[in-house]
Amino acid sequence: MAVVLVALIVIVAGLASFQFFRAVPAPTLQARLASDRRVAGGDPHFPWPAQGSAVVAIKGIGTLGVDHASARYPIASVTKMMTALVVLKDHPLQIGNDGPTITVTPADVSLYQSEKAQGDSVVQVVAGEHLTEYQALEALLLPSADNVAALLANWDAGSQSAFVAKMNAEAKRLGLDHTRYVEPSGVDPGNASTVGDQLKLAELCMSNAVFAHIVGKPQVTLPVAGVQYNVNSNLGTDGIIGVKTGWVPQGGASFVFAARQTSAIGHVIVMGAVFGQNNATPLETAFAEARKLVTSAPGVLRKEQVIAPHLVVGHITDSYGHDVAIETAAGASLKAWPGATYHLAFHQTRRIAAPLAAGTTVGELTATLGSQTASVPVVTTRAISTPSLGWRLTRL
């Protein structure tokens, strides 16, 4: 009988020891937060043009509004933004570096004479003339020389057709899904796009210091052509600092713009595009419509709290009775406008294991709007202890 009792004690002790020391499932963290949220208020109203399409945005923050977003128009010399971008991608420059020298050929002169006779936008060149890459880009972007677009294309890729293939490949890489190029100057109405695509391209171009420096000049002096003026005659008006104009009869006038403005949230760069302006003075109309958008955009901006303090992000649960909320330890704000959509994302930063004190940081919540981000710690609201002795001994 004593042997049986001892054996029973050993079995019970062994079972108790197993129960006490066996591994316990780790607590699990589940975040339950909608990923996209919208700033309160209706979409802002803008003075859209009576014709064509338009878009207005704040650089680095996002698009405030767009009118007739899907409409595609011949973009004329706005094409030259992509021409310049491809050249600068293949032959990068820095401010103060004029780059390699390009020699003007007899073929370049013949093209100049032919396009001049057709009334195209050109600058004079002569055989044997030397233009630096920087000077050629000045001629391309300020007086909007169609003949220099061809010169740069041939210099960069060996032929205009090869260069256009590069332009379309770059457009695809950048996600300009509604854009097509057929030649590098824009004289062909087959070059077509939407305001949204060209806004995206303009933001990228203006992020290039050399491009932005060139389009911000009112005039330049070229070796043979002499003084040439920026066709963007609105430069300096209402803070406008660029970027490119265009006009063809089949699509009307286009103006892609950037302007420095002051708003309730500080200094910003307003960007946008106006396409399809057709009347007696199409380019002047495009300028006027752009200025309306430039001056109205800052008024809709504000600081918006996108993450509230003590916002419950999720819960930590375990198999022995705990259900602990996790919440933001602070709030955060971003530059925004009514109707803007921002993205919230939770990132776990530590392994969850008991014991865990109240106020322990377990992750971070990040809000994103355009290129802006704001992050705050996410902490436990209560402590999580290890399982009790009773729980360990009674749970099989």
pLDDT in tens, the chain (396 residues): 666 555 455 444 444 454 444 555 678 888 887 789 999 988 899 999 999 999 999 998 999 999 999 999 999 999 999 999 999 999 999 999 999 999 999 999 999 999 999 999 999 999 999 999 999 999 999 999 999 999 999 999 999 999 999 999 999 999 999 999 999 999 999 999 999 999 999 999 999 999 999 999 999 999 999 999 999 999 999 999 999 999 999 989 999 999 999 988 889 999 999 999 999 899 999 999 999 999 999 999 999 999 999 999 999 887 666 788 989 999 999 999 999 999 999 999 988 887 889 999 999 999 999 889 999 999 999 888 776 555 555 554
User: Where does a domain end: 279, 300, 321?
Assistant: 300
Instruction: State how beta strands 53-58 and 101-103 pair.
Output: unpaired
Same-domain pairing of 345 and 263? no
- Counted domains in the chain: 2
Asked, for residue 13, whether it belongs to a domain, the answer is no
At residue 175, the 3 state secondary structure works out as: coil
Count the Cβ atoms, other than its own, within 10 Å of residue 305.
14
183 & 325 share domain: no
Read off the CATH number of the domain in which 367 is found: 2.60.410
Same domain, yes or no: 123 and 251: yes
Tokens representing 135 are 């000077």
Q: Distances in Å between the alpha carbon of 136 and those of 66, 111, 131, 139?
A: 34, 15, 6, 5
Considering the domain boundaries, does residue 288 fall inside one? yes
Q: Which CATH number fits the domain that encloses residue 152?
A: 3.40.710.10
Has residue 345 been placed in a domain? yes
Query: What are the distances in angstroms from CA 181 to CA 144, 169, 304?
Result: 17, 10, 40
Whether residue 10 is contained in a domain is answered as no
Q: Judge if 349 and 269 occupy the same domain.
A: no
Q: In this structure, is residue 276 part of a structural domain?
A: yes
| Same domain membership, residue 372 and residue 390 | yes
Last residue of a domain, one of 246, 275, 300: 300
Which DSSP category does 356 fall into?
Answer: B
Strand pairing report for 312-317 and 323-328: antiparallel
User: Containing H/E element for 209?
Assistant: helix 209-215
Cut 0.75: pTM above it: yes
Residue 9 lies in a domain: no
Which domain, by its residues, includes 363?
Answer: 22-39+304-394
Residue ending a domain, among 300, 334, 353, is 300
Whether 134 is in a domain gets the answer yes
If asked whether residues 139 and 215 sit together in one domain, one would say: yes
Buried b (16+ CB within 10 A) or exposed e, 266-303: eebbbbbbbbbbeeeebbebbbebbbbbbebbbebbbe
153 in the same domain as 35: no
Angstrom distance (rounded) from CA 52 to CA 29: 51
> Does 11 fall in a domain?
no
Same domain, 368 and 261: no
Q: Are residues 273 and 309 in the same domain?
A: no
Same domain, residue pair 327 and 296 = no
| 3-state secondary structure at position 133 | helix
374 and 344 share one domain: yes
254 with 324, same domain: the answer is no
